[in-house]
A and B are shown apart, each in its own frame.
Chain A
Amino acid sequence: MLIAIISLTVLGSTLGLLLGYAARRLAVEGNPLVAEIQAILPGSQCGQCGFPGCAGAAQALADGTAPVTLCPPGGRALVQALAAKLGVEADLSGVQDSVPMVAEVKEEICIGCTRCFKICPTDAILGAAQQIHSVFREACTACGKCEEVCPTESVKLQPIPVTLQSWHWKKPQEAV
């Protein structure tokens, strides 16, 4: 009787302590998937997905409440990366239609107000007060924030011009 009580007490307290230690030592803070998804997202916090920033979008993706096609600046490559990460089928039908865009300043009507260059999340616009602004195409994610703040509609998103480096053959017409 006594032996049984002692052994069960010892067993219970040892395992309890072990579990308590493990809970502290191996604690997971938040969902690690959220951080991993956030690492894939562009991080420009443009808000085009409808979430306040990339962190919010990552949370929604991890919860499964947002589709993997939510990020316009990410394009098809991002959709595929997210689909692979989350193990879901990517529906590329809606994404393929959107052409990659880039912001462009119409120099004739730029008044040099510096609003776009201050708001650009990737520092893709170069400018100064009373000077014509210009866009670095390589750094522009086409988030469209500049388009919203421009008082003269001088900044507009345009499809990226095709060059010899980016041109490639189209998919052949399917056989019957």
Chain B
Amino acid sequence: MLGLKLFKLRGGVHPEGRKQLAAEHGIRSLPLPAELFIPLQQHIGAPATPVVKVGERVLKGQLLAAAQGAVSAPVHAPTSGTITALGDHVAPHPSGLPVPTITLTSDGAEQWLEAAGCATPLELAAEEIAAQVAAAGIVGLGGATFPAALKLNLSRNSGVQTLILNGGECEPYLTCDDRIMRERAPQIVEGIQLIARAVAADEVLVGIEDNKPQAIAAMQAAAQGSSVQVVVMPSMYPMGSEKQIIQVLTGKEIPAGGRPADIGVLVHNVATAYAVQQAIRYGRPLISRIVTVSGGAIKTACNVEALVGTPVQALIDFADGYAQPTARLVLGGPMMGQQFTHTGVPVVKGTSGVLALTASEIGQAEPSPCIRCTTCVRACPVGLLPLEMAAHIRASDLTGAVALGLKDCIACGSCSYVCPAHIPLVHYFNYAKGDLAAQERAKLKLEATKKLAEDRTARIARIERERAEAAARRKAAREAKERAAKAAAESEGAA
């Protein structure tokens, strides 16, 4: 168990953990909020389609919106109550744009929908497990929110040898995965076994950073006697990134633009394994998650189990509000999280943390010119040249940045973190990726509209041709008739 050889991760940084703020606070349930705002899109892919009407009464766990298309996930009612609106609500996103959202007014009864569940989940067929995971609306809870069932199906079809459970949680402040591993290890291990069964994995590894000794002990105790191996990894950022955890545990590197399945690996977060266990054993869809509320500006940092759709303000109130002036609010971790301004935004499936950071914590400084010290090159876990890529992007040469490997950037922010000139390197890369995606969309639209224009030209030509043919036919018929009439008149005259 301990003999597993670890591989070295290139680059990476060692940000101050600051996990002690919330780590010793056990998971507590949040009081039921009066209103829940449930966005239709809480995952990567197409938004779900609502299947309820305004005024309808729903039970806890009832389907609110069904998955739509190949890459999508359904959304369920986090509590019982009445649907009071189907409309726009501010998104948990830095843009603060409105997104289609279902508003549910809770009735306080917390009445569950009759759920089937399964007493012997480890005897289910692989397809059945994947189908139930899809129906429960489970997405990757590490933050990427990719529909979990799709990953299971892809991995089963391509043949996966190694299943890795990500308990790295390398982002500073966050302790939600730490707490869930400490408090719910047996359920997580059962979830892991279900995932392993769904993809027929030979080897099952749980990677946990060495700054979480209690979580390691709890998981080792729960995994005793099973095929699940708990592996202790050194603490480093970004250890919890999919590509990096694979590299450290297996020594394999995902080819550029590839997926873990290409090298026979599947990675899931430990919290996702817990959600899978809950869905299959008890028939409970994903309607709540553990969220860390922390940061220097928060009075009492804590870990809460919050229903999806709970306004963030309710979490901040539960943590006794602010102790100091807040300079920035962040959803997720401080390295890769999304900043937001409106505390009415809801907790969604991918929300791992709510952080209120003080000015000294964000340490924002004016950028100065690059001194080409290459600290960012040494920090980059992917082996890119952040300073060169940023220089190309600054000069609007996105193609040049792509040639340097922009698309392999995982946006971990290690380069920005170490830059002594405070250049917002990862901001440049996020901008460039967004702009490239916009250009790609414009190109696709151009192709589509071109086809429409061609079709229209062809249609107009066809209609005109048919009209001319019809006119010619009518003319011929008329002439034939006239000729016949003439001939008849002549024969009459002759008679």
Seen from chain A, the residues whose Cβ lies within 8 Å of a Cβ on chain B are 41-45, 73-78, 80-81, 92, 100, 121-124, 138-141, 162-164, 166-176
When A170-B431, A171-B431 are in contact, do A141 and B442 touch as well, CB less than 8 Å? Answer: no
11 A-B residue pairings within 8 Å (CB atoms): A78-B446, A123-B456, A139-B449, A140-B449, A164-B91, A167-B97, A168-B431, A168-B434, A168-B437, A172-B427, A176-B367
Residues of A with C-beta under 8 A to B91: 164
Q: Are B439 and A123 in contact (CB under 8 A)?
A: no
| In the complex, B453 has a CB within 8 A of chain A | yes
Residues of A with C-beta under 8 A to B437: 168
Residues of B with C-beta under 8 A to A171: 393, 428, 431, 435
Residues of A with C-beta under 8 A to B393: 171
CA distance A171 to B438 in the complex (A): 14
Seen from chain B, the residues whose Cβ lies within 8 Å of a Cβ on chain A are 41, 91, 93-95, 97, 99, 367-370, 393-394, 396, 421, 423-424, 427-428, 430-431, 433-435, 437-439, 441-443, 445-446, 448-450, 452-457
CA distance A171 to B435 in the complex (A): 9
For B93, B94, B99, B446, the residue with the greatest tally of chain A CB atoms inside 10 Å of its CB is: B446
Residues of A with C-beta under 8 A to B41: 164
Q: Are B369 and A176 in contact (CB under 8 A)?
A: yes
Residues of A with C-beta under 8 A to B428: 171-172
Residues of A with C-beta under 8 A to B439: 76-77, 80
- Chain A residue nearest to B434 in the complex (CB): A168
- Chain A residue nearest to B447 in the complex (CB): A42
Residues of B with C-beta under 8 A to A168: 430-431, 433-435, 437-438
When A138-B445, A164-B41, A176-B368 are in contact, do A124 and B452 touch as well, CB less than 8 Å? Answer: yes
Q: Are B99 and A164 in contact (CB under 8 A)?
A: yes
CA distance A78 to B446 in the complex (A): 9
- Chain A residue nearest to B399 in the complex (CB): A80
B451 to chain A, nearest CB (A): 8
A124 to chain B, nearest CB (A): 7
CA distance A100 to B430 in the complex (A): 21
CA distance A173 to B95 in the complex (A): 18
CA distance A149 to B146 in the complex (A): 46
CB contact between A122 and one of B93, B368, B370, B456 (< 8 Å): that residue: B456
